[in-house]
Chain A
Amino acid sequence: MNEKSNKTIVISPVTRIEGHGKITIELDADGVVKDAHFHVTQFRGFEKFCEGRPFSEMPSLMARICGICPVSHLIASAKACDRLLAVEIPPTADKLRRIFGLAQVLQSHALSFFYLASPDFLLGMDADPEKRNLFGVHAVAPHLARNGIRLRQFGQQIIERLGGKRIHPAWIVPGGVSEPLSIANRDAILADLPEMLAIAQLTTEWFKGLMEKFREEIASFGNFPSLFLGIVKDDNGLTFYDGKLRIIDSAGHEIARGLEPSKYPEILGEKVEPWSYLKSTYYKPKGYPDGIYRVGPLARLNIADRCGTPRADQELAEFHELQRTSVLSSFHYHFARLIEILYCVERMQQLLSDSEILSKHVRAVARPNSSEGVGVAEAPRGTLIHHYKIDDEGLIQWANLIIATGHNALAMNRSVLQVARHFVRGNSLEEGMLNRVEAVIRAYDPCLSCSTHADGSMALQIQLRSNDGQLLDEIFS
């Protein structure tokens, strides 16, 4: 064995994330981290195989991109189809879609925080990997696990009440929604809101109390300058459904505002990385890779001046106090996610209290009137773009999708490198050190199914190999 050769650590699969990926860490001859990459390993090809199919199929088909955020794909897809029809959807349909989207964000954030990430917070980054999961959390803090399950269940139940089923409902359609909201369903959702608000507040307080313990992680988990991008209301308020693109820099200065989302090709470029099925998106005026930006909860709360609901706004003020500039550490995605859960609960209360919410006028019917449509929404993980072109018969000719996780590709890779440089030392592997490299990926809550395809099974390895392929060290965590 040549002791002076370079080595590569492979973490495969990255666990407690949605979808399939692996991490490689390259070490030099002295065991110092040289480079690191996050590889997305699967690809399905939605942009091609939708070709020739009727545009009206797109919301249901595109929802199959993902089992966690099918509703976000439904919304972005239906909004693109609204443009193909060239209609304004009825105001009640607009509000119902918003409620549906909020339910989706809430359940997805609950999944990310409680099911996937909380074992690292409660049990520790170095805890026994056999116990470092939801069941381990339940054994130590049953209320925490149960609260997480309850919160996610609440979001899923709203989706089931409105859409007929919890995953892949077909209720959102081009032109609006297919059925109005019933009184019984409105009242059932309203009745659950106080409990959900209490869970969201309790969890936020608990997490804020813990943050002190994770100083080293906060300092090294994707803590670097970048731009932040998302859609906001005209008053720079938080929104998930509709708005204009706003971009700020790491100092908190506005770089761009009021950009029409349909003009995304003018400002966003997509670059292929030869080692991943996930393309890296960048802000064109700054080029690649300087045009690195982040989307999702951290970005949305950096960009938003206000949430527009009382408790979320209190927390947002604390969030903005974390740093005088933009909040730069990706560890704070978790805090931002909890604030957004609060917002979702409070905002649903507002929307469900609207006097028009039970209106039966929820769908505009039209034939296709435009050959091109772009639909943009904020998915749980960030800005989601669906872009379609159709022929005179309404058949899809071309599609482009930019998924939240793609916007974050450059940042995730830079974060993996930063964490690896900080924690990975020498030629001897420790499980907890590699778990931290995975944990920074968990902070972004990537949804790899959104550009790929999961099959529920994956072979093991964390191996340390020399350049000539000789196995130096191996762990089975």
Chain B
Amino acid sequence: MSFLDLDERLLSIPEKAELVYSPLVDRKDFPEGVDVVLVEGAVSSGEDLHKIRLVRERSKILVSLGDCAVTSNVPGMRNPFLTDDVYARAYIENVTLDPAVPLQVIPRLLPFARPVHEIVAVDVFVPGCPPSADVIFLALSELLEGRTPNLSAKTRFGA
């Protein structure tokens, strides 16, 4: 969402880069040969695990964006609890009808929510909850110029 706070600067993206895959556009497959990918969120389910490996394989520069991706932060707060207990609160206890953990079609939670870099190599870290639009813009601008952004003075965990 912080990405959308680029506001009018969003409209200049097509001049400099092609947005090939995003919740904002309708492409369903993650394409080959991606130059830069921004990944947000922790790796929490089997499906996440599959996706992050695919994304890594198909991208040159992988940016871990936001505290959930960088440290697993809020999603990682379930880690001290057993997955079964986390499921039980939502799908057994706080239920009026048919209590049962849903298992059809949808992916199961992994025992722990992990930061992205514990699963695949990460090239750039952008912490913040969320990182501001200015920080995201700076990171993207530097990457487009072929430089590795130095964000240490611009954002931090919890910013």
Contact = CB atoms under 8 A, between A and B. Distances in A.
Nearest to A120: B26
B32 to A, nearest CB: 12
Nearest to A17: B23
Interface string B96-125: 111111111111010001000000000000
Given A48-B81, A272-B100, A43 B109 contact: yes
A42 B45 contact: yes
A270 B78 CA distance: 23
B interface: dominant SS: mixed
B149 interface: no
A393 B20 CA distance: 51
Contacts of A41: 45, 47, 105-107
B13 interface: yes
A274 B103 contact: yes
A462 B26 CA distance: 12
A130 interface: yes
A68 B4 CA distance: 10
Given A149-B10, A461-B28, A455 B23 contact: no
Given A272-B101, A275-B104, 20 more contacts: A15-B28, A41-B106, A41-B107, A42-B44, A42-B107, A48-B86, A51-B81, A111-B4, A129-B26, A134-B10, A166-B133, A270-B96, A272-B97, A274-B103, A279-B90, A288-B97, A455-B39, A456-B40, A457-B37, A459-B29
A37 B55 CA distance: 27
Contacts of A165: 132
Contact of A453 (B4, B42, B99, B102): B42
A277 B75 CA distance: 16
A425 interface: no
A42 B51 CA distance: 13
Interface string A227-253: 000000000000000000000000000
A275 B27 contact: no
A435 interface: yes
B76 to A, nearest CB: 9
Contacts of A133: 19, 24-26
A344 interface: no
A49 B26 contact: no
A180 B142 CA distance: 38
B95 interface: yes
A400 interface: yes
B61 to A, nearest CB: 14
B96 A269 contact: yes
Closest 4 CB pairs of A and B: A460-B29, A455-B41, A269-B96, A67-B1
Given A39-B105, A49-B78, A462 B28 contact: yes
Interface string B1-26: 11011011011011000010101111
A149 B7 contact: yes
B74 interface: yes
Nearest to A402: B94
Interface in B54-96: 54-55, 65, 68-69, 74-75, 77-78, 80-81, 85-91, 94-96
A47 B81 CA distance: 12
Given A45-B90, A48-B90, A68 B1 contact: yes
A49 B42 CA distance: 16
B123 to A, nearest CB: 15
A459 B51 contact: yes
Given A64-B74, A457-B37, A47 B90 contact: yes
Contacts of B80: 49
Contacts of A459: 29-30, 50-51, 54
Contacts of A166: 2, 5, 132-133
A334 interface: no
Nearest to B73: A64
A456 B44 contact: no
Given A274-B104, A459-B29, A149 B8 contact: yes
A271 interface: yes
